[in-house]
Chain A
Amino acid sequence: MTREEAFERLNKVFREVFDDDAITVGETTTSEDIEDWDSFEHINLVVAVEDEFSFKIPMGKVVTMKNVGEMVDIILEMGK
């Protein structure tokens, strides 16, 4: 999976979770950029990402993710 492919699939997950087809996420997107992205939606987002890429993100990583770029880093690392 390339970084672009990961972003593409991730974007689909974001649109579903936040029910907003206008969302396009990039390397530096953070929760500040998406209106409904609060701590509760973050839980759904993480679970939906795990579901999409078929792996579990360990607790340590869930806590330290700073932006969508880092999320993609984890996906590419775990989803090998």
Chain B
Amino acid sequence: MHQSLQYPFDSQLLLRKRKSIRRELLTGTNLLDKRIAILGGSTTHDVVDMLELFLLDQGIRPAFYESEYGQYWQDAMFPNSELEAFRPDILYIHTSNRNITAWPEPGDTPEQVDALLEQEYSRFSSMWDKLRETWHCPIIQNNFEYPFYRLMGNRDAADIHGRVNFVTRLNLRFAEYAQSHDGFYIHDINYLSADYGLEKWSDPFYWHMYKYALCLDAIPRLAFSVSNIVKAIFGKNKKAFALDLDNTLWGGVVGDDGVENLAIGQETSMGQVYSEFQQYLKEMKKRGILLNVVSKNDHENAIAGLNHPDGALKPDDFISIKANWEPKSVNLVQMAQELTLLPESFVFVDDNPAERAIIRQQAPGTAVPELDKVEHYINVIDRSGFFETTKLSADDLKRNEMYKENAARAQLQASFGSYEDYLLSLEMRATIKPFEPLYMARIAQLTNKSNQFNLTTRRYTQEEIEQTAADPDHITLYGKLEDRFGDNGVVTVVIGKVEGQRLDVILWLMSCRVLKRDMEYAMMDELAAKCLERGITEIRGYYYPTAKNGMVRDFYEKQGFAKLSEDEAGNTVWTLDISKNYHRKQHMIVVNEREGQEVEQ
């Protein structure tokens, strides 16, 4: 990660040195290519440049379509061969209050103002409907910043004729559309401009001079914010915190000062600041972010500190607590392995610049926010967009529980003689079915998040998942796994393309949280059954190696396939004849029992 692109960044520097920074970033490897169409209601040139830098830093190499100046609506509503040839993966509509065409007049009746609001809103919503129907891809839409002047002063906020009031109502209507339409995301420039400072943001100089809807210096902030939504859509969010303890979660050093002398709680202002930070982390946990500790401390001191009666966080709130005297980079890498995550899924929070430097060096990809004062920890972490939420699935809310359950399973495993006995004791039950509407969001999320157990690493948007599910030439299966410790939710996805009597498996992935549970064999059994129903006799598998999916290199071999070919890049093609003597491969999981289907044991 390029340090000059981490929040809080120097906007002037980025604007000036964009070309040399871009050159450096383009040397990155494993970049994900995405096509982004920017439909603008104002000038978009620098928005494109800055967005490119931030996306490259996130591992996404964008290609851009830029509408002609101010042509966002025309580009959306009318056939456009250039945009058709471009085939966007994402649409970003960069509009501002400069694009509101009619405002309430002083004498307007409430009905007239309502009609005006409806007129403005439907100009946008009809455009979104049209874009969704045409492109089936995610849409990112700016809401509106407040006007830079108020004709009635404060009354502008309360009076239906006030522009502030009008913008507020319009923004709520935009939000309602987002609530009822998947794959539609509000980019909140209302918050962003307030946070930046509306007077500077809306400096009319930039509009009249260059037709920019915001000042040039604010464009990196805008682009960074958009890039956070884009990277979240493509599964590049962080998942977990690795937190230091002393002078990070509380003031003082627990080993030296003793628990009773730590600054935490409501007694002192320093204590209050640390408490607010702990509360913030606790709220993050409720949204599915995993909390972990990496601290140079004796284990018992760390636990004693976390049991401080005034602390919001308790030992139980953490999945993994590594308190020892090993280098933090060693602890972090080991922790990632234990949780079947990658180091780059972590945000490392530590007040000590030396520790931060070590992590940056030894665990590249791990996010390491620059922290100065404790009262600014939340500001920096929150604005860094590590955990930008584009969807909040039931699984996200339950994630901490699931990791805890996994820890309990690991304990149980230790008490069994054989692995088979252990698997049987889990009393596993699976649901394996073609994609269903209820799970489309989760399935799309999995295709974007799974890197390790993923044979082809094909990414899908939710819209594409829905189209694939509806297409008779595809066989789709999702797998959900429960056991005596809890429900793992949807954990595996397979997509096959029917080619006559052959099925090409174009996607096979599984969440690492159910590794070694025989779930992949249960999926194969169901897939074979579905194929035989349709008269398909051959299943062909593909493995495309990436930096991360080495664990499934031999996947098809283990499933009994024969290798057909291998190229220099290590891409392999595999085949399995299922026309005769297909033997069920797994006997540990009861599949689809609730529907009373036959279960072979």
Q: Say yes or no for B217: interface residue by CB 8 A criterion.
A: yes
- A40 CB contacts on chain B under 8 angstroms: 45-46
A19, CB-defined interface residue at 8 Å: yes
Interface string of A41-72 (1 = CB under 8 A from B): 00110011001000000010011000000000
Give per-residue flags for B35-79: 1 if the beta carbon is below 8 A from chain A beta carbons, else 0.
000000000011000000000000000000000000000000000
Residue among B16, B208, B209 making CB contact with A44, cutoff 8 Å: B16
Contact B45 A17 (CB under 8 A): no
Bound Cα distance A19, B217 (Å) = 19
Closest chain A residue, CB of each to CB of B206 = A43
Q: How far is the CB of B217 from chain A (nearest CB, A)?
A: 7
Asked if A27 is at the interface (CB within 8 A of a chain B CB), the reply is no
17 contacts between A and B (CB under 8 A): A16-B20, A17-B16, A18-B19, A19-B20, A40-B46, A43-B46, A43-B210, A43-B216, A44-B46, A44-B216, A47-B12, A48-B15, A51-B16, A59-B205, A59-B209, A62-B209, A63-B209
Residue B583 at the A interface, CB < 8 A?
Answer: no
Bound form: Cα–Cα A19–B205 in Å: 27
Say what secondary structure dominates the interface of chain A.
helix
Interface of B is mostly: helix
Instruction: Indicate if the CB atoms of B15 and A44 lie closer than 8 Å.
Output: yes
B594 at the interface (CB under 8 A from A): no
Chain B contacts with A in 1-54, Cβ cutoff 8 A: 12, 15-20, 23, 45-46
Residues from chain B with a CB closer than 8 A to the CB of A18 are 19
Q: A13-B16, A62-B209 are in contact. List 11 more A-B contacts (CB 8 A).
A: A16-B20, A19-B20, A43-B45, A43-B209, A44-B15, A44-B18, A47-B216, A48-B12, A59-B205, A59-B208, A63-B209
A47/B217 in contact, CB under 8 A? yes
User: When chains A and B are docked, how far (Å) is the Cα of A59 from the Cα of B210?
Assistant: 10
Closest to A43 in B: B210
B residues 232-276 touching A (CB-CB < 8 Å): none
Sorted from nearest, which 7 A-B pairs have the closest CB atoms? A19-B19, A40-B45, A48-B16, A51-B12, A16-B16, A47-B216, A43-B210
- What are the residues of chain B within 8 A of A48 when measuring CB–CB? 12, 15-16
- Give, as a whole number of angstroms, the nearest-CB distance from A54 to chain B: 11
The smallest C-beta distance from A34 to any residue of chain B, in angstroms, reads 13
Q: How far is the CA of A47 from the CA of B203 in the complex (A)?
A: 14
The docked-state distance in angstroms from the alpha carbon of A44 to that of B210 is: 11
- Return the chain A residue nearest B17 by Cβ: A16
Q: Mark B545-565, 1 if CB is under 8 A from A, else 0.
A: 000000000000000000000
Residues 14-31 of A, flagged 1 when their CB comes within 8 A of B and 0 if not, give 001111000000000000
B208 near A47: Cβ-Cβ < 8 Å: no
B residues 484-505 with Cβ under 8 Å of A? none
In the complex, chain A residues whose CB is within 8 Å of the CB of B212: 43
The CA of A13 and the CA of B17, in the complex, are separated in Å by: 10
In the complex, chain A residues whose CB is within 8 Å of the CB of B208: 59
**Per-residue A-contact encoding for B211-243, CB less than 8 Å = 1, 0 else:** 010001100000000000000000000000000
**Chain B residues in 8 Å Cβ range of A43:** 45-46, 209-210, 212, 216
Residues of B within 8 A of A17 (CB): 16, 19
A18 to B217, CA, bound (A): 18
State how many angstroms separate the Cβ of B593 from the closest Cβ of chain A: 63
Smallest CB separation, A4 vs chain B (Å):
22
| In the bound complex, CA of A59 to CA of B25 (Å) | 35
Q: When chains A and B are docked, how far (Å) is the Cα of A66 from the Cα of B15?
A: 23
Most B CB contacts (10 A, CB to CB) among A16, A43, A51 go to: A43
Complex Cα–Cα for A75 and B239 (A):
49
C-alpha spacing A44/B206, complex, angstroms: 12
Which B residues are in CB contact (< 8 Å) with A19?
19-20, 23
- Which residue in chain A gives the minimum CB-CB distance to B20? A19
- Shortest A61–chain B CB gap in Å is 11
| Residue from B16, B17, B210 having most chain A Cβ neighbours under 10 A | B16
CB distance from A10 to the nearest CB of B (A): 13
Q: How many whole Å from B207's CB to the nearest CB in chain A?
A: 11
**With contacts A40-B45, A62-B209 known, is A47 near B15, CB below 8 A?**
yes
Q: Shortest Cβ distance from A47 into chain B, in angstroms?
A: 5
In the complex, how many angstroms separate the beta carbon of A50 from the nearest chain B beta carbon? 9
Chain A residue nearest to B22 (CB atoms) is: A19
What separation, in Å, do the CA atoms of A17 and B14 have in the docked complex?
10
Give chain A nearest CB distance to B296 CB in angstroms: 41
Residues of A within 8 A of B12 (CB): 47-48, 51
List A contacts of B16 (CB < 8 A). Answer: 13, 16-17, 44, 48, 51
Residues facing A in B109-128 (CB within 8 A) are: none
Residues of B within 8 A of A47 (CB): 12, 15, 216-217
Chain A residues, Cβ within 8 Å of B46: 40, 43-44
How many Å lie between the Cα of A59 and that of B209 in the bound state? 7
Q: How far apart are A45's CB and chain B's nearest CB, in angstroms?
A: 10
| Distance, CA A17 to CA B216, complexed state (A) | 15
Closest chain B residue to A48 by CB distance?
B16
In the docked arrangement, what's the CA distance between A13 and B12, Å? 12
CA distance A68 to B595 in the complex (A): 79
Of chain B, the residue at the smallest CB distance from A56 is: B205
Q: Which residues of A sit under 8 angstroms from B23, Cβ to Cβ?
A: 19
What residues of B have a CB within 8 angstroms of the CB of A63 in the complex?
A: 209
B450 → A minimal CB distance (Å): 38
From A44, which residue of chain B is reached at the shortest CB distance? B15
Distance to closest chain A CB from B506 (angstroms)? 41
Chain A's closest residue to B216 (CB) is: A47
A19–B209 CA distance with the chains assembled, in angstroms: 24
Which chain A positions have C-beta within 8 A of B209?
43, 59, 62-63
Once the chains are docked, how many angstroms separate the CA of A63 from the CA of B208?
11
Residue among A13, A17, A47, A59 facing the most chain B CB atoms (10 A cut-off):
A47
CA distance A32 to B566 in the complex (A): 54
What is the minimal beta-carbon distance from A9 to any residue of chain B, in angstroms? 13
Least CB distance, A11 to chain B, in whole angstroms: 14
Q: Chain A's nearest CB lies how many Å from the CB of B352?
A: 33
Provide the bound-state CA to CA distance between A13 and B16, in Å: 8
A27 to B19, CA, bound (A): 26
Give the distance to chain B from A72, nearest Cβ to Cβ, in Å. 19
